[in-house]
Amino acid sequence: MTYRVIVEPEALQDVISIYNFISKNDSKNKATKFIRELEHSIGSLSEMPHRCRKSYYTEDELTRDMIYKGYTIVFNVRESYVHILTVFRQKTF
């Protein structure tokens, strides 16, 4: 089964913020490259989204986390859709 991936407005704003942060602290080329890779990784959720772990951030069985290069992509699987809810950098303690 192929799922349709929908990026919610809040998650899109998260991605824009990540781009701006990398662009400001490194370079626009690296920011663009990273965002392309992140988008590819998010797009891969159209196939087998249940391969990712159940979310640490909610008790909802349908919400999952995908980790990509230190970032967590929190998403919800409903019927034939994957809703990207938020993207954030994991903190290391």
* C-alpha span between 7 and 13 (Å, rounded): 10
Domain span at 63: 4-89
Instruction: Evaluate whether 83 touches 42 at the Cβ level (below 8 Å).
Output: no
Summarize the confidence of residues 20-32 as an average pLDDT. 97
pLDDT in tens, 36-60: 999 999 999 999 999 999 999 999 9
- Residue 78 belongs to domain with CATH number: 3.30.2310.20
pLDDT the model gives residue 1: 87
Tokens describing residue 30: 């690296």
pLDDT in tens, 72-82: 999 999 999 99
The count of structural domains within the chain is 1
